[in-house]
Amino acid sequence: MKWIRSLVALAIAGTCAVAASRLADTAISLGPTRRLLIAADEIDPERVNRIELARDGKRFVFERVSADPSEDSAAETSSSQATWRQIEPVTHAADAWAVRQFISRVLKAESVRHVDVASGEASTGVGTMHATLEAAGLSPAVATVTLREAPSSDGARREVVVELGRRSLAGRAFARRAGDPGYDVVESALHEFALERDVRDFRRRELFPDLGEVQRVMFESGSNRTEIVREKNGYRIVAPIQTRADRQQVEELLDALRRARSAGFIVDEPREPSVYGIDPPAARIEVETSAGKQALRIGDAVSIGAQDRFGLLEGTVSVVRLPAAEIAGIVPRADRLIDAIATSVRPRDVASMEILLGDAMHGERLTLTREVNGWSATRTPVGGAEELAGSVATEAVDRLLTALCETRAGAVEIALFPEDARVGQVVLKGFANEPLDTVRIAQRTDGKTILENGDGVLRVFGAIDLPITPAELEFKKKSAS
């Protein structure tokens, strides 16, 4: 019986040996381990400052630029903070996020198999075929991608060149490093990004990209012109009339300019720009910052009955589609931007006021002077009779200052002051008795009150608490001692 046990043991040992042999064959059949097509130390993605993509008989070039010309963008600006521009075949601001994705896909491309052309065979996912560069779509290549670093301190600069071949099955494609006699089977993610994506998707759609602190905004349409400039303490409208601008409204306009985007690119380098109404343009918006000027031309409607229009950002050659909603938000309207408050003087800066009721020849004059505990007053009746000294109610004067210095008008109009409806004026003075501002007052037949301080803008109030008469100010004559 011992010999039977020996035979069983030998049989078991043989079975284990065969199983081990098959497992070893299976491990070998799995092929080489995945590897990066471009080694991690061949190029630094943070220093890449030029990308070239050659496909479809064209060459597309993107370069990283620095907002500060004195700054060494190669050494100090990382790709995540960079400003990119497409410089060939057209010039246009590029989407930094899309460019970084492109760089990442090139550097993360994995080879699942290297094919030695000299071996004569390659696995393509559909069988075995003669391994040639032509069969892989690499002679000539379908596309070529070049990444180039910025020069180092010694002037050297590294670059990598990847040639892309045809797509295969099961999410695979062919690619090779330039100069490699063979090629690699890779995942197709890079091919999808480099070959199938519209290159225009790499461009930024912002109408005014990288808009910094705005110094001036100008809008022209025919003979109409609106211009806003930044001043030390806010903004001022200088056209079509010179007056104060509403800071909040201007800030909202600037935010709209920063957010404004086109709805897509229509055509590059149009042969006849006049067809799109951009040469000459129907309207033009110019924005000036410390870094320079950017201007947008607004052209004709894209089709009959449409509200969207053609546009072109000066300095580029691409006609874009401007959505009507974006145009409405970025076209400055003087009537909305004008400060609706009668004067820019602050109540705490007013030391005295001269109120004239009626006209200068036949009106009554009331002079108010700020005191420690209130306001004193001097009343000069009609005809310049004897002056009457007295006081007025502090609460009434506060209401008057609120109306002049803080209350917003319901509407503004650019028109001449209606002298025939004038009922008075208020001169505001500072603590050195210097005039700060003069506000004229008119009363319309419809009951609305107009305030105007010499800038040609009528600020119209439907209802306003404006105590200016002695009775409204609760004038009290000083009693004789």
pLDDT recorded at residue 122: 46
- The arithmetic mean of pLDDT across residues 47-67, rounded, is 90
pLDDT over threshold 80, residue 174? yes
Note the Cα 194 to chain centre separation in Å.
27
What percentage of the chain carries pLDDT values higher than 70? 84
- The DSSP secondary structure of 130-188, one letter per residue, reads E--TTTTTBTTBSEEEEEEEPP-TTS---EEEEEEEEE-STTEEEEEETT-SSEEEEET
Average pLDDT of 29-36?
61
Check pLDDT > 60 for residue 294. Answer: yes
Assess whether pLDDT exceeds 60 at residue 73.
Answer: no
What number is the average pLDDT over the span 223-245?
93
Average pLDDT over residues 407-420: 94
| Stretch (H or E) spanning 419 | none
Per-residue confidence at 151, pLDDT binned at 50, 70, 90? confident
State residue 72's pLDDT score: 43
| Residue 32: predicted pLDDT | 53
**Mean pLDDT across the stretch 73-99?**
75
Mean pLDDT along residues 323-342: 94
- In the block, residue with structure tokens 């506060």: 398
478 and 389 Cβ atoms separated by less than 8 Å:
yes
Q: In the numeric block, which tokens belong to residue 322?
A: 């401007």
pLDDT band per the 50, 70, 90 thresholds, residue 5: low
Token pair for 142: 């379908």
Categorize the per-residue pLDDT at 135 as very low, low, confident or very high, splitting at 50, 70 and 90: confident
- pLDDT band for position 322 (cuts 50, 70, 90): very high
According to DSSP, residue 91 is labeled -
